[in-house]
A = this chain, B = another copy of it.
Amino acid sequence: MITREHCAILDAGDPLAHCRARFDLPPETIYLDGNSLGAMPANVPARMKIALEEEWAQGLIRSWNDADWYPAPQRTGNKIAKLIGAGQDEVIVADSTSVNLFKVLVAATRMREGRRVILAERTNFPTDVYIASSVAQMTGCELRCVDPDEVLASIDETVAIVSLTHVNYKSGKRYDMEAVTRKAHEKGALVVWDLCHSAGAMPVHLNRCEADFAVGCGYKYLNGGPGAPAFVFVAKRHLPDMRQPLTGWHGHAKPFEFTHDYAPHAGIDRMLTGTAPQLGVIALEAALEAFEGVDLEVLRAKSVALGNLMIDLADQQLAGLGCTLASPRDASQRGSQVSLAHEQGYAVMQALIARNVIGDFRAPDILRFGFAPLYVRYIDIWNTVAELKNILETRAWDNETFLTRKSVT
């Protein structure tokens, strides 16, 4: 039997325990929703104050040069690169994940002109499928959506692009990036990886896996703030041939010469479109300092331990209470979250949130718990399962307040 004391001992021995102080967290709250919106790194407000009151208000337009605003998307991209196994100048911060996905998917179809299948996955995060569908329509391709366990077998010589999310948003199931990428390359296809639920939560090895393209989000495990700008990775070998369709001036080889014809920048800057969302980039760049000195293997080890603890405690405490595990039990197939299914999932999660245990709900019945290893403690997992047990045992979820759906989840 796992005890509360055992969890406290794990926290006492946690090599990342000191990182929690890098975040400004509300008291008495357990936050297991960093896979939806990461907690705020404590250094962000001071950095933003300087950005506003000094750089913007006093420096005005001069700050694009003098405060180094202009190279911030590249600089921040290079910091993210270290977290995802990319090289320098292969990653840049820009736009949203959806917009970046559109760019890379269109560019990739142009690099595989004889082929017309975009292979995607039915259970992927909807925006990825919506965007792929639009790209297919605009480029004369066919979007082929298959079940997760059919992906590998479905990669054949007709496939131009395989578009997958590394870790599934709902189940937390993780693809074997290396195996999928290898198979795709054997068949002559390109792979686009969405890293929304892996960047910042575990080491990602884009270049070791010979990945082609990747996109990802700044506001989950990277803690960049609500709607933080996203990032995009293009393997250096593809940059010269890569023609993305959102050809705004910041992707131009010489944006400030204001020439009439578009000529893409030679490097990763070609993935830019409009002016960088600078306040968001500044917050994201500051937020990344929370990873300073963090060994990503240690981060992953803690993430796995937190997930295993959650599953073990659920087995131990929640048996017969209507919850079933909706994530892989095998940690090697799991990201940094554990999902539980319960037929009253929405109300159960509302009841948990009312007790200051914050996860989230994903239709139709998923209770989602994300573990950001920089600030989640083992004791948080214990307390979460204890509250959940109490809610289920007492049917505390069976309450008008919790059962009534808000318009937005």
Contact = CB atoms under 8 A, between A and B. Distances in A.
B363 A133 contact: no
A15 interface: no
Q: Choose among A65, A130, A256, A358 the residue with the greatest number of B CB atoms under 10 Å from its CB.
A: A130
A397 interface: no
B126 A259 contact: yes
Interface stretch (A149-157, A231-239, A279-287): A279-287
Nearest to A37: B61
Indicate how many identical chains form the complex.
2
A374 B99 CA distance: 34
Contacts of A60: 26, 29, 31, 33, 37, 39, 358
B131 A362 contact: no
B57 A248 contact: no
Contact of A126 (B126, B225, B260, B276): B260
Given A60-B358, A227-B281, A134 B95 contact: no
A56 to B, nearest CB: 5
Interface of A: 24-26, 29, 31, 33, 36-37, 39-40, 44-45, 48-49, 52-53, 55-58, 60-65, 69-70, 95-99, 102, 106, 122, 125-127, 129-131, 133-134, 137-139, 145, 170, 217, 219, 225-230, 245-249, 252, 255-260, 262, 273-281, 283, 353, 358, 360, 362-363, 406, 408-409
Given A45-B49, A65-B408, A98-B273, 16 more contacts: A29-B60, A39-B57, A40-B57, A45-B52, A70-B408, A96-B274, A106-B138, A126-B249, A126-B255, A127-B249, A134-B246, A228-B277, A256-B409, A277-B280, A279-B279, A280-B280
